[in-house]
């Protein structure tokens, strides 16, 4: 392990002190090859709901979280906390609480239009993945930060920042050979209680991580083509 051990401390109010940034430029041919390969690899990613109970190398998950934590963020405030839940008893508690909320959702809270949107995905209130997957990452957003004297300070673009970090987390997990699912039980307040998080943190997503089960199935999805999502002017 050769990770940076330097500790970050708040830079609020400090002057601008830039440092040089001179990464070696990648030759265009290599860029093209890498971009095409990445596009193919990323297109192989699928959201998985049926996990094997096989353990995953924990260091891979930690490295993926470290990748996520390199995400850009509003005012570089890095307003995220990743809780890696390995304890099966805690995963059981999370599943029980999530299923309690999801039952209410699927029995009416979502409404017909939402249920119709979900029908082709085959989701329901039973969340076996929360206990089957060997690891669970619960991502929290820090809505504000607390100064040493307890005063609340704003964080900026928290949803955007944490969303970008989760995207990078999913990419890192997938490219490292692991499968994942972004689960957003609603409401999610119970996660802060179960995981004993401070009052400035709000749950953003629950991400089971593992290997697909041997009999794993996924919906037969078609992605929008590039010309459906890209406008060049």
Using CB under 6 A, list all residues that contact ligand IYR: 102, 105, 118, 123, 183-186
Q: Which is nearer to ligand IYR, 102 or 201 (CB)?
A: 102
Min dist. Cβ of residue 122 to ligand IYR (A): 10
Say how many C-beta atoms besides its own lie within 10 A of residue 128's C-beta: 14
Distance of closest approach, residue 187 Cβ to ligand IYR, in angstroms: 10
Closer to ligand IYR at the Cβ: 57 or 122? 122
Nearer to ligand IYR, 11 or 186 (CB): 186
Contact between residue 207 and residue 136 where contact means Cβ atoms under 8 Å apart: yes
State the residue number with the nearest CB to ligand IYR. Answer: 123
Cα–Cα distance for residue pair 187/194, rounded to 1 Å: 14
Q: Which residue from 98, 77, 43, 50 is spatially nearest to 164, judged by alpha carbons?
A: 77
Q: Return the bridge partners of 28, or none.
A: none
Q: Do residues 85 and 209 lie in contact, with contact meaning Cβ atoms separated by under 8 Å? A: no
203: which DSSP letter?
A: E
Q: How far is the CB of 128 from ligand IYR (least distance, A)?
A: 12
Q: What's the closest the beta carbon of residue 130 comes to ligand IYR, in angstroms?
A: 10
Which residue's CB is nearer to ligand IYR, number 69 or number 218? 218
């Amino acid at each position: 392990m050769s990770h940076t051990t330097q500790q970050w401390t708040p830079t609020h109010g400090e002057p601008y002190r830039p440092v040089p940034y001179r990464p070696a430029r990648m030759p265009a041919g290599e860029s093209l090859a890498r971009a095409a390969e990445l596009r193919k690899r990323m297109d192989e990613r699928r959201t998985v709901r049926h996990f094997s109970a096989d353990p995953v190398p924990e260091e891979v998950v930690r490295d993926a979280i470290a990748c996520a934590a390199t995400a850009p963020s509003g005012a570089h405030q890095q307003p995220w906390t990743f809780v890696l839940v390995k304890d099966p008893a805690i995963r059981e508690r999370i599943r029980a609480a999530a299923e309690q909320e999801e039952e209410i959702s699927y029995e009416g809270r979502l409404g017909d239009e939402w249920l119709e949107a979900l029908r082709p995905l085959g989701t329901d209130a039973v969340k076996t993945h929360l206990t089957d997957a060997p690891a669970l990452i619960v991502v929290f957003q820090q809505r504000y930060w607390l100064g040493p004297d307890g005063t609340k300070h704003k964080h900026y673009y928290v949803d955007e920042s944490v969303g970008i970090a989760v995207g990078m987390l999913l990419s890192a997990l997938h490219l490292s050979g692991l499968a994942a699912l972004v689960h957003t039980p609603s409401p999610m307040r119970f996660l802060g209680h179960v995981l004993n998080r401070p009052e400035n943190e709000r749950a953003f997503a629950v991400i089971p991580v593992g290997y697909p089960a041997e009999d794993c199935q996924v919906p037969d999805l078609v992605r929008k083509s590039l010309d459906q999502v890209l406008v060049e002017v």
